[in-house]
Amino acid sequence: MRIQAPRGTEDVVPATASRWQEIESAYHRIASLYGYREIRTPVFEDVQLFKRTAGETSDIVDKEMYEFQDKGGRDIALKPEGTAPAMRAVLEHNLCPTGTHLRLWYCTACYRYGRPGAGRLRELHQLGAELLGSSSADADAEVIELAIRFFESLGIQGAPVRINSIGRQECRTQFREVILEQAKSFLLDTDEVTRAKIEKNPLGMLDSKDPKQKEALVGLPSILNFLEDDSKARFDQLQLLLTEAAVPYVVSPETVRGLDYYTETVFEYEHPALPGLSVFGGGRYDNLVSQLGGQATPCVGFGIGMERLLAVLEAIDHEAKTPQPVAFIVQASAGAAEVARKIAREGRAKGLPISLDLDRRSLKSQMRQADGSGATFALIIGDDELAEQKVSVKNLKSSEQQMIAIDSVVEFLCENS
RNA sequence: GCGGGUGUAGCUCAGGGGUUAGAGCGUCUGACUGUGACUCAGAAGGCCGUGGGUUCAAGACCCAUCAUCCGCCCCA
């Protein structure tokens, strides 16, 4: 049997690769405008990095992580997310000394052992940003605005960011009790797996799609009612800032996140083209750095799912510019090959993408290739042209044809491309 | 990890026990021996996902397996 790409992985073939490039460069450009600089971290890390930070109640770490021992007996995990490794690197290189700010972006592969499906992969790529050193709502607003401006630059709009605040630890502890109390009768009546899951992470019930769970929570007060004053104030301020920035948002008290390190502000973004799947999600994680042994550093960040973003772009019919040659050189006689190669070399040296026939096929075939390549011009070189030291230049869009001296062809292409 | 659908030509798909497996699109060749896209003619291209089973006979039926899609779980 032929070997296939492992389950849940995708090759980025040339047709898709041009979209990737487009997206990555757009992201890089916008992140730079906001003062973010790139960081790259290893594909694998010490397992403990994730267990200690995103840990415990999170399925991503608990049951979806690719873990193995290397030949030296070290416990290794392929990174399931980008934030913890970035913070590990920040501490390792002391990139954010106490009292300073640090803005980082990255594009990284992540690995999660779940069941693959539409928009769900085992190897996925995330575009991320992290802002370290500020606990202000301004920082929250900045990263959200960055992501939304990025989407807009790709032509994606029309869906609001869902924002919420899950408060600090004490607030969440209190709210968990309220949920468990409210869900008491539901829990008695449900299966073991669901019950264990909810008891482990009651907040997870909030964004459940199960109608029975939804029904069980009817009348539950919003988590926003449990916020302490400063959390509440910050969340209000965030809304003002997003309004000012013209970032469409909606307050969504059901929005919770699947990684344990989040506190206070959380957000996610779902596009109608991919219902039920978030394209972008993140939040504040003020305790992560200290959990890793650094000075307490307030941080906020997000991840954008590259493959999901591509799916959205495809759904909204966003055409990627596929690179096309300016000219295709048609060799209509045996003696043309050398001249053809010379013109191709000169043109490429001037930065013009040029293609030519490799197989000495018929003139008709070469003209077809020229057409199929998307080139604007066919440069036809045959005995007649060689005799006059000229090239027939046919514009394939307009069908106009003219003779141009071999020495001036490249110049002509430069002016007309 | 759970439930369901689908795997036949490069792509989209037809064929649902009985000769040599089909179509459209695409590809290649040709239709005045120097001109693409349109038209016409022809050709190439298939371990019918893989392994086992039932049968005189399997692309078709059964089992398994792998992949993929749709839900769930989870999230990007």
**C1' of B45 to CA of A365 (Å):** 19
Give the span between the Cα atoms of A29 and A373, in whole angstroms: 30
Residue A182 resides in a domain: no
Q: Complex ipTM, two decimals? A: 0.85
Give the span between the Cα atoms of A360 and A381, in whole angstroms: 13
Whether residues A295 and A389 fall in one domain: no
Residue A193 resides in a domain: no
Residue A376 resides in a domain: yes
Nucleotide with minimal C1' distance from the CA of A278 is: B76
Whether residues A278 and A398 fall in one domain: no
pLDDT digit string, tens, across residues A284-331: 999 999 999 999 999 999 999 999 999 898 888 766 667 789 999 999
Positions in chain B where some atom is under 7 Å from a protein CB: 1-2, 27-31, 34-37, 47, 49-50, 66-76
Looking at per-residue pLDDT, the higher value among A117 and A129 belongs to: A129
Whether residues A263 and A407 fall in one domain: no
Mean pLDDT score, A151-172: 93
**H or E stretch covering A237:** helix A229-244
Which residue is nearest to the C1' sugar atom of B28, using CA? A365
- Buried b vs exposed e over A236-255: b needs ≥16 C-beta within 10 Å? eebeebbeeeebebeebbbb
- Domain end among A286, A315, A344: A315
- Domain end among A288, A315, A342: A315
pLDDT digit string, tens, across residues A344-386: 999 999 999 999 988 889 999 999 999 999 999 999 999 999 9
R_g of chain A computed on alpha carbons = 28
Whether residues A56 and A35 fall in one domain: yes
Residue with tokens 């060689």: A386
**C1' of B44 to CA of A417 (Å):** 37
**C1' of B51 to CA of A337 (Å):** 52
**C1' of B30 to CA of A382 (Å):** 22
Give residue A354's pLDDT. 95
pLDDT digit string, tens, across residues A21-65: 999 999 999 999 999 999 999 999 999 999 988 877 788 888 899
Whether residues A307 and A337 fall in one domain: no
Residue A172 resides in a domain: no
Q: Which CATH number covers residue A376?
A: 3.40.50.800
Whether residues A44 and A69 fall in one domain: yes
The set of residues, in sequence order, having a beta carbon less than 8 Å from that of A16 and lying 6+ positions away, is A310
Q: Where would I find the beta strands (DSSP E) of A133-219? A: 161-165
* Tally of structural domains, chain A: 2
A133 lies in which domain range?
14-167+227-315
Residue A65 resides in a domain: yes
Q: Which of residues 125-144 of A touch strand B (CB under 7 A)?
A: 126
Residues facing A248 on adjacent strands: none
Give the span between the Cα atoms of A19 and A127, in whole angstroms: 14
**C1' of B56 to CA of A3 (Å):** 37
Q: Which CATH number covers residue A49?
A: 3.30.930.10
Question: What is the distance of C-alpha A129 from the center of its chain?
Answer: 10
Give residue A67's pLDDT. 92
